[in-house]
Amino acid sequence: MTDLPTVRILETDLSVLPSHEGAIVVFATPDGKLDQGARKLSTLMKKSLLRLVESEAFESAKIGEAMVMSYPVGIAAGKVMVVKLGRRPSVEEARKAGASIAKVRGTSDVLIMGGATSRMADVAYGCALRGYAFTAHKTADQDAVGAIDVMTNAPDEVQAATDVMMAIAEGVVFTRDLTNEPANVLTTKEFANRLKEMENIGLTVEVLEEDKLEELGMGSLLCVGLGSASPSKVVVMQWNGGGDEAPFALVGKGVVFDTGGISLKPAGGMEDMTMDMGGAGVVSGVMKTLALRKAKANVVGLVGLVENMPSDRATRPGDVVTSMKGDTIEVINTDAEGRLVLADVLWYAQERFKPTGVINLATLTGAIIVGLGHENAGAFSNDDTLCNRFLKAAGAEGEGAWRMPMGAAYDAKIKSRIADMKNVGGRDAGSITAAQFLQRFIKDDMPWMHLDIAGVASVKAETALAPAGATGWGVAALNRLIADVYETKET
């Protein structure tokens, strides 16, 4: 498990500046103003810091960018970073500043002189998240993460905000670790074990094994894992922080590896399918965050854990299976397996918990990447209120999402000649027909949203707050949605 750096919030104390040995960060406003701490540092550094903020290089630097002065004269620190940031930065600017600091600091300790600049918790959050590295399988790399010290004039306020932000960061890192983990390590069993461990932080975690899933009639989910030596599982995580109201439900696709099954995928890039449990990863990360910050809400997270492998026991194209709902499905392509898994978990979630709403997350279709690239997840919903609330939360967290259309004409594409439906509706509108398939397992009047995260769960290039690889997309947005809408507000 990747550790986050320790973040310590301290009262401003300028007397440490001459002798502090780690890196020191100060902020300069876009018009080159230094606060008291930075001015003191500049004096110690024989005014070299002033020269920097008066330079053209500083002028052309972007907000949130860090400029580095190495081995400065007059102080013990090996590095000083000057970060261009206003006194009242936006959330995005503050997090970007933190990310810039992370890229320079690597794993060494850093002292951030926040002074009177606001949103220091977001600076720490950006620094902690952008500093993430998945080193679990690197023999040479130490897993030292260093410490982030933040000095501020408002330590109590910043400490309270930081406690919440770090609970979110813990959830994001949990999601990233799960999503980055290769499939020989993160088997269905290992995944369930890691979720079970979250009982330590107050979640109720149940693992439903294959015999139970058979008893429940989950023929759709179970047909996906038939070819694998790893048993299929459904894990139910409950956080009850909100009294006795009905919970909100989060449902995730957890295909620990997707070969395509008998409809085998081509070899090129197949290794990427180690992230096909990304939806389940996000659900798990959100549950972790809610527990760590003791959210005043009732939320249940359900993940369907399966492996899609070809074998003599695997489901064949053309097979017909019966879902828990009772509807029959003609499996014309065993590579459209995520929807088969979700169908049964969605139905089970509604039957058992009678939730006030359901959001499912899945790396469901390659087609969503064709449509939206890696910038936005596809959002599909039967409920404008829920969808708009989510899009607003995602926007506030800098997590891209774009609503896609649905409708009867798309649904007609998954009609089957021999069963109630087939699992693929053809090449056209592939992401939408996948969403229509899922909606067939959503009860009338149940507010529901499906997030197709195939393009955003794991990416090849770095993003604002993550290195290449798993992003943890959605953890912050869903946490915010729950905080904004479902949490009982204290009065």
Helix (H, G, I), strand (E, B), or coil: what is residue 57? helix
367 binds, among Zn ion, ligand BES, Mn ion, none (CB under 5 to 8 A by kind): ligand BES
Q: Segment contacting Mn ion (CB under 5 A): 33-41, 48-56, 253-261, 442-450?
A: 253-261
The answer to whether 172 touches 283, Cβ cutoff 8 Å, is no
Q: Is 348 exposed, middle or buried (0-12, 13-18, 19+ CB in 10 A)?
A: buried
The answer to whether 479 touches 171, Cβ cutoff 8 Å, is yes
Answer yes or no: 480 catalytic. Answer: no
Helix (H) or strand (E) holding 140, with range, is: none
What would you measure as the largest C-alpha separation in the chain, in angstroms? 83
Minimum gap (Å) between residue 336 Cβ and Mn ion: 6
By CB under 6 A, name the one of 122, 149, 276, 397 that touches ligand BES: 276
Q: Binding pattern to ligand BES, positions 296-335, x when CB under 6 A? A: -------------------------------------x-x
By CB under 5 A, name the one of 35, 181, 258, 397 that touches Zn ion: 258
Q: Segment contacting Mn ion (CB under 5 A): 287-295, 299-307, 332-340, 363-371?
A: 332-340
Residue type for 377, please? A
Position closest to Mn ion via CB: 335
**Token duo for residue 179:** 């999503």
Minimum gap (Å) between residue 374 Cβ and Zn ion: 17
How far is the C-alpha of 127 from the C-alpha of 165, rounded, in Å? 11
Q: Segment contacting ligand BES (CB under 6 A): 33-41, 316-324, 365-373, 476-484?
A: 365-373
CA end-to-end span of the chain, whole Å? Answer: 38
Cβ distance to ligand BES smaller for residue 106 or 426: 426
Query: Are β-strands 421-422 and 328-331 bridged in parallel, bridged antiparallel, or unpaired?
Result: parallel
Q: Tell me the number of residues near Mn ion by CB under 5 A.
A: 3
Check the CA dihedral 454-458-462-464 and report its sign. Answer: positive
Catalytic residue among 265, 296, 392, 403: 265
Q: Which of 319, 348, 293, 354 is nearest to 478 (CA)?
A: 293
Contacts to ligand BES from residues 423-462, by CB under 6 A: 424, 430, 454
Kindly compute the dihedral angle of the four CA atoms of residues 456, 459, 464, 470, in this order, to the nearest 10 degrees. 80
Establish if 452 lies at the interface with Mn ion (CB under 5 A).
no
Position closest to Zn ion via CB: 258
Cβ distance to Zn ion smaller for residue 338 or 474: 338
Answer yes or no: 339 catalytic. Answer: yes
Establish if 367 lies at the interface with ligand BES (CB under 6 A).
yes
Catalytic residue among 84, 176, 253, 339: 339
Tell me, rounded to whole angstroms, the distance of Cα 14 from its chain centroid.
37
By CB under 5 A, name the one of 258, 307, 330, 411 that touches Mn ion: 258
- Cα-based distances in Å from 15 to 10, 113, 132, 350, 475: 13, 12, 31, 59, 39
Minimum gap (Å) between residue 64 Cβ and ligand BES: 30
Cβ distance to ligand BES smaller for residue 299 or 401: 401
Establish if 366 lies at the interface with ligand BES (CB under 6 A).
yes
Establish if 335 lies at the interface with Mn ion (CB under 5 A).
yes
Tokens 């919903």 -> residue: 381
- Give the active site residues: 265, 339
